[in-house]
Structure 1
Amino acid sequence: MEINKGNFIDTRKNSIHDFFDGSRQSLPIALGYFPVSFTFGLMAVNGGIPVWIVILISMTNLTSAGQFAGTNLIIAGAGYVEITVTTFVINIRYMLMSLSLSQKIAQGVSNAKRWIMSFGITDETFTVAAMQKKDITFAFMLGLEILPYMGWALGTAAGAVVCTLLPETLQNSMGIALYAMFIALVIPAAKKSKAALAVSACAIFISSLLRWIPVFSVISGGWRIIIATLIACTLGAKFFPMEDVVNAG
């Protein structure tokens, strides 16, 4: 009994240590999420979506680009199929990330805990978790994901509430912040990686063709995103294998 009690105490100490280790590494992610989700809250409320629904979206999703794309389609009055396919294509990478991290999860983690861990996987939390030299515990992932989740939800709430307090002219001008945010996300990655630059340029080129060539004008914005994403990613996978991308990073 004494040995079992000692093992229990050691396990609890390790879990607490892993939790705070994950929280420490997640702090920069949480701080980075706040201004992005603040912009999302501004954009969504400015588009006519009620504040409580905007906050609920960010509390039940943690998908950044998927939320922006899906919410823009909602504001534009797109159909359910278009919204569903668009968000699925944009967010399918999380499925691949989850499968990859499943190989690093410590033994004994239940399926219920794995589902909880998968909810908080984003590009940034995946990167931090994948770089760990040891097996990933539930406590570590919980610590890694809680602060970014709070940063995303609180940023959205702040942006949504502030938007209701701003004058209408200033609300309308806040749409520029969305384009500035995407430029800030794309440019650094494109400067570091030829693959990212090529895929981004390809997606922009295809989207422009679909938007400005008259014969394609009947295609809605959501389907343009889907088509451009699929073609650009397919070409990127063909001409820039994973090892080339990793070496470029």
Structure 2
Amino acid sequence: MKTYMGEWKSGLKNGIPIGMGYFAVSFTFGILAKQAGLNPFESVFMSVTNLTSAGQFAGLTLIASAAAILEIAITQLIINSRYFLMSFALSQKIDPNTSVFHRLIMAHGITDEVFGVSVAVPGKLSPYYVYGVMSAAIPGWALGTLFGVISGNVLPPRLMSALSIALFGMLLAVIIPPAKGNKVIAGLIFVSMVLSLVFTRVQIFASLSSGVKIIIITLFIAGIAAFVFPVKEDTYE
């Protein structure tokens, strides 16, 4: 049985690649934040408290356009609402007796990648494992933002585009290993990719934000999968 420190170290080890990928992606955000008029402290504070690439880039655009606080808040709620679903999923993997204090800290650190490695943990999920992942992911995102603000426009556009691709590579690294060992997961990933493509091509869905599209696709696929391939209650025991 792993100790709290052992769980933390395991999470930290799995979180290092995430932190490295976050550093590359948030570097771009830091440069854009400087162009929008934010100083290093404001930029890093935004990264540490928000922890979402889509939400931060959207928020930065609204800040630069002098949008109202209410508009910014509503936009963030819509874009980041997919994390509600991730929280619901992780709540089924943790011990029911986990305190509210631990739940709140875990909730703050949930991102697509942190969720990906956490939900793939066999058996029950320890909060300390998630803390380990967060210990690598959050500093990577914050430091990347800081270096981006400091560097300004020094780096060439081609290099910035290359850094942005790191996020997609990181997402692939999260979903491929579980899919290789489970045909159901592999099939669901394929279906989600097809539906995502459909949602980008069909005109009726064009007005929906990326966050809303993700929620619709997630609820649809997860609902069907839960009905067709139900998970036994003792799976996480």
Interval containing the TM-score (normalised by the shorter chain)? 0.7 to 0.9
Contact 2:24/2:163 (8 A) holds in 1 = no
Q: Is 2:10 the counterpart of 1:21?
A: yes
Task: Identify the residue that residue 105 of structure 1 maps to in structure 2.
Answer: 94
State the Cα distance separating 1:29 from its structure 2 match.
0.8
- Structure 1 residue runs of 5 or longer lacking an equivalent are 1-9, 208-226
State the Cα distance separating 1:178 from its structure 2 match.
6.7
Task: Go from structure 1 to structure 2 and tell me whether the alpha carbon gap of 1:235 and 1:54 turns closer, same or farther (over 3 Å shift).
Answer: closer
- RMSD between aligned residues: 3.6
Give the counterpart of 1:241 among 221, 224, 233. 221
How far apart in 2 are the matches of 1:132 and 1:38? 29
Task: Tell me the number of residue pairs that the alignment of Structure 1 and Structure 2 aligns.
Answer: 209
Contact 1:203/1:232 (8 A) holds in 2 = no
Which letter maps to 1:17?
G
Fraction of identical pairs, as percent: 34
How far apart in 1 are the matches of 2:142 and 2:103? 22
How far apart in 2 are the matches of 1:48 and 1:204? 36
Task: Map residues 196-211 of structure 1 onto 2, 5 A cutoff.
Answer: 196-202=196-202, 206=206
Contact 1:41/1:156 (8 A) holds in 2 = yes
**TM-score scaled by structure 2?**
0.74
Task: Go from structure 1 to structure 2 and tell me whether the alpha carbon gap of 1:112 and 1:234 turns closer, same or farther (over 3 Å shift).
Answer: closer
How far apart in 1 are the matches of 2:41 and 2:141? 15
1 or 2 for the larger relative contact order (CA 8 Å, sep ≥6)? 2
Q: Is 2:164 the counterpart of 1:181?
A: yes
* Counterpart secondary structure, 2:123: coil
Q: Is 2:21 the counterpart of 1:32?
A: yes
Q: Is 2:77 the counterpart of 1:88?
A: yes
Task: Identify the residue that residue 218 of structure 1 maps to in structure 2.
Answer: none
* Counterpart secondary structure, 2:3: helix
Contact 1:198/1:236 (8 A) holds in 2 = no
Task: Identify the residue that residue 63 of structure 2 maps to in structure 1.
Answer: 74
Q: Is 2:47 the counterpart of 1:58?
A: yes
Task: Go from structure 1 to structure 2 and tell me whether the alpha carbon gap of 1:157 and 1:180 turns closer, same or farther (over 3 Å shift).
Answer: closer
The structure that is helix-richer by fraction is 1
Task: Identify the residue that residue 127 of structure 1 maps to in structure 2.
Answer: 116
* Counterpart secondary structure, 1:78: coil
Which letter maps to 2:122?
K
State the Cα distance separating 1:204 from its structure 2 match.
10
Which letter maps to 1:106?
D
State the Cα distance separating 1:99 from its structure 2 match.
1.8
State the Cα distance separating 1:181 from its structure 2 match.
3.2
**TM-score scaled by structure 1?**
0.70
Greater CA radius of gyration, 1 or 2? 1
